[in-house]
A and B are shown apart, each in its own frame.
Chain A
Amino acid sequence: MKNKSVLSKILSYTKPYKWYLVLAMIFALVSVALTLYAPILTGNAIDLIIEKNNVDFDGISVILIKFAVVVGITAITQWLMNLCTNKLTFYTVRDIRVRAFERLQIVPLKYIDAQRQGDMISRMITDVEQISDGLLMGFTQLFSGIVTIFGTIGFMLSIDLKITVVVVLITPLSLFVASFIAKRTFNMFKIQSETRGEMTSLIEEMIGNQKVVKAFCYEDDAEEKFDEINSRLQQCGVKALFYSALTNPCTRFVNGLVYSGVGIFGAVSALSGRITVGQLSCFLSYANQYTKPFNEISGVITELQSAFASAKRVFEIIEEEPQTPDAENAVVLDEADGRVEIKNVSFSYVPEVSLIENLNLSVKPGQRIAIVGPTGCGKTTIINLLMRFYDVNKGEISVSGYPVTEITRDSLRSNYGMVLQETWLKSGTIFENIAYGKPDATMEEVVAAAKAAHCHSFIKRLPKGYMTEISDEGSNISQGQKQLLCIARVMLCLPPMLILDEATSSIDTLTEIRIQKAFAKMMEGRTSFIVAHRLSTIKEADCILVMDKGHIIEQGTHDELLLNKGFYANLYNSQFAVS
């Protein structure tokens, strides 16, 4: 993506608000022109103040009234311009952000799974903010800066050519100094931010895991590492800080030179009567502000560069290929009958590594399928395929006799009740969370679902009951209780088929018993797929899929598999091997 195309993309987002852009430019033009006109007026007035007993008060009062009007209009147009750029920027940025989020809702899961979450969040937050800052500065300062430079030169030319030439000749010096500093600063900042990044990740790692550090008496080693980075940070920090602090004094210096130049040449010109003292004063005030727009523009350019870099990252999300849309004639499956047919299915995440090959499974309504295997064997792959989070590479999965590709995704998924091991709750009240799948549920329905999931009693004991807010931190809800809430969420809709992921740990016994009871109740008469860890669940299954390293290696009932004396038999026996 070239900067140019990024720019045109950003601009395309401003289209709905183009009138703000047009207005902003008009206001900018007016306010800059008037700002530059004001010194001419003061200069004229000064020319009327000559010496004792020689002051033209009538002339001055006319000029001063004009001056007051000019100042008033300048202030108003300046303010209006800011309002326009504000709206333009914030509307545009909101649209970009919403568009990115909307895209996240329709990209294939494959994309989301492959991204690092922190990175995605920083694109949605920090990068979008960077775009916003860049746009705001770009809109307000770039245009008016350029207008100011040309306007100043124009006004100066209208007064005197020679002095203008002096000013214009000193200008490249200012640009040279600015670019020299900018380059140095950029390099130093790069080193500094790298070192700072190193420091931050060390701090995050060590303090974030302080308990481990203490357990291994690693404090001194950690401090040693820390000191080393800290002293490097000090060295490069001093340089970065110094170079970045150069900009102000240096531009003040260049400004001073311009001022002196104008002063000397202007005074000499005044001697020969080519310009008046008032015009000299007008030149002086131009000289005072002359380098300001140059600095602003170089600031805007750096800001715009990082805004473009950020925009690229955000547009990557927005332009990510969405999942294949539902077929036009796709069936809306209201209530599945519980039949699931898996025919010759092959699937792999990456083409080179084959995972599931030629899987066949026919599930009758109400049957229980247990999926077992060692850690990391890819049990969740099956869930991904059943829910159509991922599409199969070959073969076909059908539900109620329809191939899943011919059913709308929404209706297919609403026929499955899913409880995953990683409990996910939204920030919000318990009520909202249980009613997640059915936002119009009444309190009675929610309570009934909670009772069925054995979580009513603990919810009732919370000070705010069903209105308790669930949040990441300071939560008074344990892991097991969260799982119960997830079960209640499914209970409320209770679809004809279930996908359950048994928890391996972190749940206390009492809660675990409750979860088992709730699971058992849900499964009654429903086709269920269970990622199973518990022997009792596995034994009662109608069919066991045994997985290893992503492949389904055995398939059958508990007894059949034991007779087989294969992988499952080994797995089963190993639990009793140690004595």
Chain B
Amino acid sequence: MFRLFKYLKNYVLESILGPLFKMTEATFELIVPIVMSKIIETGIKHNDKEYILKLGGVLVLLGVLGLACSLTAQFFAAKASMGFGTALRKDLYHHINKFSHAEIDRIGTSTLITRMTSDINQAQTGVNMFLRLFLRSPFIVIGAIIAALIINVKLTLIFLVASPIIALIIYLIMTISIPKYTAIAKKTDKVSLLTRENLAGVRVVRAFSRQEEEKQDFKETSESLMKHQIVVGRISALLNPATYVVVNLAILAIMWFGGKTVYAGDLSQGEVIALVNYMSRILLALVALANLIVILTKASASSLRINEIFNTKPELSDENAKEITENNSENAVEFKNVSFKYSSDADNAVSGLTFTVKKGQTIGIIGGTGSGKSTLINLIPRFYEVSQGEVLVNGENVKDYTFTNLREKIGIVPQKAVLFKGTIRDNMRWGKADATDEEIYKALDIAQAREFVDSKPDGLDTMIMQNGRNLSGGQRQRLTIARAIVKKCEILILDDSASALDYATDAKLRKAISEQTEGLTVFIVSQRATTIKNADMIIVMDDGEIAGIGTHKELLKNCNEYREICQSQLSREEIERDEK
């Protein structure tokens, strides 16, 4: 938590003044019972009406001053904590943006999102409450005890006994119930999981007529969630009655021993009332402190998680890179004995990859899942760093390029068709901010997406909802392809990105790409033999290694793995025709 305090540095004044004003307010609050006891003592006893009104005026004044201080304090706390949150959020986002794919894989995007949202909010609330309450509550407790000391030393003993007991009760109830809340959260997750599963699998559930069992499952889980809630409720319900008893027993003790002291002449009636009053205030302050501790515990857990992200340093950097503008190699991409290992795995994901791709060629990459196809292409834009060997783009090692410089040249269509909230035009301009409508339409034509975009009443201005929810899978895929084409890249990579397209559209797409994009080097990763069989060169991947390189015909002759794939997907006549 304290490591994050540096984000308060622009709000040092607010962070100091806030708690100070709070303490001032608390002081005013502590003076009130003393004034009241004076009213009773001097005013009533001596029948002095003027004195009563004078001190009454002091009471009102104390209230007004207290309000003013408190408002100032709240304002400073709000300003400082929001400033803290804003600066932290900005910095964390900037940090996350520097991560390479390796770190994103390791941490996971959903984790990153919770760190950015709920964890930062939690930390922000923590700072806010800290500034508001951290000094105030203990100050009131100590202040009330000191006030009691001033009134009567012996009776203060009651305070010294009662306060720790109240604190202990609060502490015990919290330590018992808080871990149980985690159990409740887990049960709630289970209920949520069952609901999600049931909705997603509604067809299967009904196909197997399992509705009754599903209901039973759900009932049991809800039941067990409820039991946990009742148990926790039972424990938390103890807090108020238990502290009430302790405080009132203390008051009882004050009256009894106070009575004795008054009898002895060491204490006045008004002072007894003041002592009773202080006792009540201690309870309120301790309860507030307990809430603060809960909030701070959560905040410090969140801070730990945020710091974890900050402690993760991006593995890749382009600090020593330079702008490379020359472009006279005839090879677009070259792999020289490349191996790569994901940090979480023991074995290499790919190893010993060596091949050369000339500019303008179309390369097909085929192989089973987990054979290393995606890994291979992810090494070209240097999303991951090779463990061994080198990858060259336009004859230069990818490490020598700045990220922007390198990735500008490469258009990627990822497996998962991702679009962003905004108009189709906004999405198309991701790779080229100033693309004209003409350029966009040309790309849509190539990607076979023109027809359905035109069919929308708003054309390019059609709004795409988050994650492209309002489009079909095939439409999304075609738009992501168009987006990559708009970019005017030198190397286009299609990572199994036509999977939601039917064969006919897929075929048209490939035809359009080869005819309408002069000099573009294209990598097509696919599971389908038909998609890649016309490529200039086909790389067959098997278990992280290259099982064969060549044209369709060559591979049919001399690559077993490739022949197997074709046999499972193509008709016998097709294969026989191609073999000739």
The segment out of B160-168, B172-180, B499-507 that lies at the interface is: B499-507
Which residues of B in the span 413-435 have a Cβ within 8 Å of any Cβ on A? 414, 418, 420-421, 430-431, 433
B195 in contact (CB, < 8 A): yes
User: Which chain A positions have C-beta within 8 A of B474?
Assistant: 375-376
Contact present for A374 and B240 (CB under 8 Å): no
A71 to B371, CA, bound (A): 74
Chain B residues, CB < 8 A from A413: 206-209
Q: Are A204 and B113 in contact (CB under 8 A)?
A: yes
Are B237 and A86 neighbours in the complex by a CB distance under 8 Å?
yes
Q: Which of A203-254 contact B (CB under 8 A)?
A: 203-205, 207-219, 221-223, 226-227, 230-231, 233-234, 237-239, 241-242, 245-246, 248-250, 252-253
Bitwise interface map of B from 215 to 239 toward A, beta carbon under 8 Å scored 1, else 0: 1001100110110011001100110
For B418, what are the chain A residues with a Cβ–Cβ distance below 8 Å? 209, 212
Query: B357 at the A/B interface (Cβ < 8 Å)?
Result: no
Let me know if B32 is at the binding interface, CB within 8 A: yes
Q: How far is the CA of A285 from the CA of B260 in the complex (A)?
A: 23
- Among A38, A109, A208, A426, the residue within 8 A (CB) of B197 is A426
- Bound Cα distance from A489 to B474, whole angstroms: 29
- Interface status of B70 (Cβ within 8 A of chain A): yes
A257/B201 contact (C-beta < 8 A), A75-B244, A94-B225, A101-B195 known? no
> Which of A48, A50, A264, A284 has most B Cβ within 10 Å?
A264
Q: Which of A55, A72, A281 contacts B276 (CB 8 A)?
A: A281
| Contact pick for B527, options A106, A489, A505, CB 8 Å | A505
For A424, the closest partner residue in chain B by CB is B201
Chain A residue with the shortest CB-CB distance to B475: A376
Q: Which of A240-277 contact B (CB under 8 A)?
A: 241-242, 245-246, 248-250, 252-253, 256-257, 259-260, 263-264, 267-268, 270-271, 277
Which residue from A74, A263, A513, A533 sits with its C-beta under 8 Å from B59? Answer: A263
A578 touches B369 (CB 8 A): no
Which residue of B52, B198, B407, B487 contacts A101 across the interface (Cβ within 8 Å)? B198
- Chain B: minimal CB distance from A328 (Å): 19
Does any Cβ of A come within 8 Å of B153's Cβ?
Answer: no
Contact A83 B248, CB 8 Å, known A42-B255, A117-B196, A413-B206: no
A509 and B496 contact, Cβ closer than 8 Å, known pairs A90-B226, A215-B407 = no
Question: In this complex, what residue of A is CB-closest to B61?
Answer: A260
A161 interfacial by beta-carbon distance below 8 Å: no
| A98-B218 CB under 8 A given contacts A67-B252, A227-B90, A575-B530 | yes
B412: interface (CB < 8 Å): yes
- Contact string, A360-381, partner B, CB cutoff 8 A, digits 1/0? 0000000000000111100000
A515 nearest CB neighbor, chain B only = B568
B109 interfacial contact with A, CB 8 Å: yes
Interface flag for A46 (CB, 8 Å): yes
Task: Identify which of A308-316, A395-403, A534-542 touches chain B.
Answer: A534-542
A324 within 8 Å of B by Cβ?
Answer: no
A171 within 8 A of B: no
Most buried by A among B234, B269, B431: B269
- A550 interfacial by beta-carbon distance below 8 Å: no
Interface assignment of A13: CB less than 8 Å from any CB of chain B: no
Does B49 interact with chain A (Cβ within 8 Å)?
A: yes
In the docked arrangement, what's the CA distance between A93 and B226, Å?
A: 9
Interface code B58-94, partner A: CB below 8 Å = 1, 0 otherwise? 0110111011001100110111011101100110011
- Listed A/B pairs (18) with beta-carbon separation below 8 Å: A42-B255, A75-B241, A83-B233, A86-B229, A94-B222, A124-B192, A204-B113, A212-B418, A222-B97, A242-B74, A245-B77, A249-B67, A256-B59, A267-B56, A436-B210, A509-B527, A535-B571, A575-B530
Sort A-B residue pairs by CB-CB distance and give the 6 closest, nearest first. A508-B368, A505-B499, A256-B63, A82-B237, A52-B265, A264-B56
In the complex, besides A98-B218, A245-B77, 4 extra interface pairs with C-beta distance below 8 angstroms are: A79-B241, A105-B215, A246-B74, A281-B273
